Amino acid sequence: MSGEAQLWISMQLAEQIRRHGAETYPHECCGALLGRDNPVSAHSSSDEGAEKPQREVLALFPLVNRRDDSPRNRFSVTSGDVRAAEKEAARQGIDVIGWYHSHPDHPARPSEYDREHAWPWYSYVIVSVAAGAPTEITSWRLADDRAEFSAEEIAICQRASV
Amino acid sequence: MPVKVMIPTPLRAYAGKREAVELDAATVGEALGRLTSEFSELRKHLFTDDGKLRSFVNVYINDEDIRYLAKENTRTKDGDTISIIPSIAGGCCS
Ligand SMILES: [Zn+2]
């Protein structure tokens, strides 16, 4: 796994994730990140100047947390929800590139439970919500061998979402 | 019997970047076995160390969840499509 993974997201969409976390507090929120992975073709040269996103969130697909039994410290997205998110992404001509959820009154770091249930490749965005107010937001990717999550830098960009 | 296995986006890197793999199998379990022997890096993402399908790995045959059929013993027919569909789970503490 590259150590320089980066996830681009607009200020508005990052704010929308934080707001979702505040709305469902003290329960966990969850949703899909829709966007593009490697939107720049391989032949493009670096002399263009500006940095190009390797992975970019272009829309969100908020979901309902299915874990009625322990919504404060668990979230679950059914395969039906995953298919609905994929369908919406396809409608917009983009892909499901990851998932977001909140950690009510816990730091924005993946738990052991998160790691055990994670898929590789996807970006896992976590927002910490302390006493109802969203604080830190982080992103993570699972290593190929499933042993650990690596932090992925979140690049907040100004461009409007598509 | 040739069947097609659809590979979900997060696992394509472990399956030669393919969206789908065609192989011969008489049951769903046999199809997944062939798939993971051809692409061995897929195995740990689909199965636990003791060889059971992971809880967040859902397998459908032509849009039907194999949990409601004969699970991995579900028989396949010529031209069936087997889809591996993620479910997503997590939480803030262990
Ligand atoms: Zn978590």
Q: Is residue A162 part of a domain?
A: no
Q: Please indicate whether, in this complex, the C-beta atoms of B91 and A124 are within 8 angstroms of each other.
A: no
pLDDT of amino acid A40 = 54
Amino acid type, A158: Q
* Cross-chain CB nearest to A111 (options B10, B41, B91): B91
Nearest to B91 by CA among A87, A95, A142, A124: A124
Q: Per the domain annotation, does B92 fall within a domain?
A: no
- Per-residue pLDDT, averaged over A144-148, amounts to 95
> Which residues touch A118 (CB under 8 Å, ≥6 apart)?
A110, A124, A142, A146, A149, B90
Q: In angstroms, what CA-CA distances link B6 with A74, A86, A96, B85?
A: 29, 14, 16, 9
Question: Domain total for chain A?
Answer: 1
Distances (CA, A) of B48 to A4, B4, B55, B82: 29, 23, 9, 20
Please give the Cα distance from A67 to A48 (Å, whole number): 46
Gap from CA of B56 to ligand 1 centroid (Å): 15
Instruction: Kindly determine whether residue B89 and residue A70, on different chains, have CB atoms separated by under 8 Å.
Output: no
| Percent share of chain B, pLDDT over 70 | 99
Contact: B91, A70; criterion CB under 8 Å: yes
Residue A1 covered by a domain: no
A97's torsion region: left (phi>0), alpha (psi -120 to 50) or beta? Answer: alpha
List the beta bridge partners of residue B81.
B4
Residue that wins the pLDDT comparison between A4 and B31: B31
- Chain A positions touching B44 (Cβ under 8 A) are 145-146
Task: Note whether residue B91 is domain-resident.
Answer: no
B87 in contact with A at a CB cutoff of 8 Å? yes
Q: Which residue has the tokens 């200020």?
A: A11
Give CA B75 to chain center in angstroms.
Answer: 14
Tokens of A70: 């322990």
For chain A, the C-alpha Rg in angstroms (whole number) is: 15
pLDDT at residue B93, as a whole number = 80
Q: Are A62 and B71 in contact (CB under 8 A)?
A: no
Asked whether A110 and A124 are in contact (CB, 8 A), the reply is yes
Q: What CATH number did the domain enclosing A77 receive?
A: 3.40.140.10
Q: Domain of residue B53: give its range.
A: 2-86
ipTM of the complex: 0.93
Minimum CA–CA partner of B88 in chain A? A77
Q: Which is more confidently placed, B33 or A54?
A: B33
Say yes or no for a CB contact (<8 Å) between A103 and B92: yes
Which residues are registered as beta bridge partners of A153?
A: A6
Provide the pLDDT confidence category of residue A144 given band limits of 50, 70 and 90: very high
Closest to B4 in 3D by CA, of B32, B30, B23 = B23
Q: Residue A31: phi, psi to the nearest 5?
A: -175, 170
Residue A148 in any domain: the answer is yes
pLDDT, tens digit (0-9, with 9 covering 90-100), for A47-86:
454 566 789 999 999 999 999 999 999 999 999 999 999 9
Amino acid letter, A90: A
> Minimal CA–CA distance to A53: which of A29, A33, A36, A76?
A36
Which residues in chain B touch residue A120, judged by CB atoms under 8 angstroms apart?
A: 10-11, 13-14, 45
Query: How far is ligand 1, taken at its centre, from the CA of residue B37, in Å?
Result: 32
Tell me how far the alpha carbon of residue A44 lies from the centroid of ligand 1, in angstroms.
Answer: 36
Q: Pick A73's closest partner by Cβ from B12, B13, B92.
A: B92
Count: domains in chain B = 1
Instruction: State the average pLDDT for chain A.
Output: 90
A46 contacts: CB under 8 Å, gap ≥ 6: none
Q: Which of A38-47, A76-85, A124-133, B34-43 has the lowest mean pLDDT?
A: A38-47
Total length of chain B: 94
Q: Mean pLDDT across the stretch B61-80?
A: 96
B93 part of contact set with chain A, CB < 8 Å: yes
Q: What is the pLDDT of residues A85-109, one digit of tens each?
A: 999 999 999 999 999 999 999 999 9
- Residue A80 located in a structural domain: yes
The CATH number assigned to the domain holding B17 equals 3.10.20.30
What's the pLDDT tens digit per position in B41-58? 999 999 999 999 999 999
Q: Which domain holds residue A18?
A: 6-157
Cβ A134 vs Cβ A18: under 8 Å? yes
Residues of chain A above pLDDT 70, percent: 87
Model confidence at A2, pLDDT cuts 50, 70, 90, reads: very low
Which pLDDT belongs to residue A39?
52
